[in-house]
Structure 1
Amino acid sequence: MAIRTPAAPTGARVLACIGVVLGLGLIGATPSVAGPKVDTVVLDNGNRLTCEIKQLERGRLTMSTDALDTVRVYSGRIREIVSPRQFEVERADGTLHFGALATTQPRGVRVEISPGSGIDLQLDDIVRITPIEASVWQRMDGHVDLGFSFAKADLETRYTVNADTEYKSKRYAAEVVLASQITSREDAERLARNQLTLSGSRRVGPRWSGGTILQLQQNEELSIDLRTVAGAGVTRYLAQSNRTNLTLFAGLAYTREQFTGEEIKGRAEVLVGSNWDWFTVTNDHVDLSTQVLSFFGVTGGSRTRLELQSAARFEFLKDFYFSVNGYGSFDSHPPEGRANSDVGMSLALGWSF
Structure 2
Amino acid sequence: MIKYLLLAFLLIGSVCNSQNDIIILKDSTILKGEIKSFSKGVLIMETTYSDKDFNIEYNKLKSLVIQRKCLVILTKGRRRFGNISTDTNGLVVITLEDGTKERFKFEELVTLEEVDDQFWNRFTGSIDLGFSLSKANSYTQFILGGDLNYIDELWLVNGNVSVLNSTQDNVEKTKRTDAELEFYRLLPREWFLLGNVSFLANTEQALEGRVIPSVGIGKFLISTNKLHLGLSLGYTYNIENYIDTSLNKTSSEAFVTASFNMFDFEDIDLDTTINFYPSLSEKGRIRTDYDLNLKYDLPLDLYIKLGFTINFDNQPAIGGNDFDYIFTSGFGWEFD
- Measured in 1, the distance between the counterparts of 2:54 and 2:172 equals 48
1:20-51: CA deviation from partner (whole Å, max 9, x where unpaired) = 4x44433432245678x7x63135876223x4
The residue identity in structure 2 corresponding to 1:269 is: E
Q: Distance in 1 between matches of 2:161 and 2:148?
A: 9
2:254 to 262, 265, 270: 270
1:29 has 2:13 as partner: yes
- What does residue range 195-210 of structure 1 map to in structure 2 within 5 Å? 195-210=178-193
Structure 1 letter corresponding to 2:140: T
TM-score by length of 2: 0.85
Matches within 5 A, 1:233-272: 233-261=216-244, 262-272=246-256
The reply on whether 1:190 has 2:161 as its aligned counterpart is no
Distance 1:119 1:110, change over 3 A: same
Q: Structure 1: 5+ residue runs without aligned partners? A: 1-14
Q: RMSD value over aligned CA atoms?
A: 3.1
Kindly state the Cα deviation for residue 143 of structure 1 after the two structures are TM-superposed: 1.4
Question: In structure 2, do the counterparts of structure 1 residues 145 and 44 end up closer, same or farther at CA, with 3 Å as the change threshold?
Answer: farther
Which residue does 1:319 correspond to in 2? 301
1:288 equivalent to 2:270? Answer yes
Deviation at 1:126, TM superposition (A): 4.0
Would the aligned equivalents of 2:179 and 2:198 in 1 still touch at CA under 8 Å? yes
Conserved in 2, the CA contact under 8 Å of 1:102 and 1:112?
no
Q: Which runs of 5+ in 2 are unaligned?
A: none
Q: Cα distance 1:244–1:154, how it changes in 2: closer, same or farther (>3 A)?
A: same
Structure 1 counterpart of 2:213: 230
Cα displacement (A) at 1:130: 2.2
**1: CA distance between counterparts of 2:99 and 2:159?**
41
1:86-125 equivalent positions in 2, closer than 5 A = 87-93=69-75, 94-97=77-80, 98-105=82-89, 108-113=91-96, 117-122=101-106, 125=109
Distance 1:165 1:32, change over 3 A: closer
Displacement of 1:82 after TM fit? 2.7
Q: Does 1:148 align with 2:106?
A: no
Q: Distance in 2 between the 1:74 and 1:123 partners?
A: 19
Shift of the alpha carbon at 1:155? Answer: 1.9
Helix, strand or coil for the counterpart of 1:318? helix
How much has 1:110 moved relative to structure 2?
Answer: 2.7
Instruction: Give the letter for the 1:312 counterpart.
Output: L
Q: 2:314 aligns with which of 319, 329, 332?
A: 332
Q: Distance in 1 between matches of 2:159 and 2:17?
A: 25
- Equivalent of residue 4 in structure 2, options 1, 19, 22: 19
Say if 1:70 and 1:206 are closer, same or farther in 2 by CA, change over 3 A: farther
Measured against aligned partners, the alpha-carbon deviations of 1:145-168 in whole angstroms (never above 9, x if no partner) come to: 111112222221111122111101
**SS of equivalent to 1:144:** strand
Q: State how many pairs are aligned.
A: 326
| Matches of 2:26 and 2:249, distance apart in 1 | 61
1:279 partner letter: F
One-letter identity of the residue aligned with 1:29: G
Distance verdict in 2 for CA 1:244–1:76, change over 3 Å: farther
Cα distance change, pair 77–58 in 1 and its aligned pair in 2 (3 A) = closer
Q: Per-residue deviation at 1:305?
A: 0.7
Residue 280 of structure 1 aligns to a residue whose secondary structure is strand
Q: Distance in 2 between matches of 1:32 and 1:86?
A: 13
Q: CA deviation at 1:55?
A: 5.6
**What is the alpha-carbon distance in structure 2 between the residues aligned to residue 44 and residue 193 of structure 1?**
55
- SS of residue matched to 1:29: helix
1:85/1:280 CA distance change after superposition, 3 Å:
closer
Q: Distance in 1 between matches of 2:282 and 2:216?
A: 21
Q: What TM-score does the superposition give when structure 1 sets the normalisation length?
A: 0.81
Structure with more relative contact order (C-alpha pairs < 8 Å, separation 6 or more): 1
Q: Does 1:83 align with 2:68?
A: no
Kindly, what percent of the aligned residue pairs are identical?
A: 17
Shift of 1:339: 1.1
Change (3 A) 1:295 1:62: same
Whole-angstrom distance in 2 between the partners of 1:102 and 1:324: 39
C-alpha separation between the residues in 2 aligned to 1:124 and 1:151?
A: 54
Give 3-state SS (helix, strand or coil) of 2:137's partner: coil
| Contact 1:62-1:72 at 8 Å conserved across structures | no
Distance 1:72 1:342, change over 3 A: same
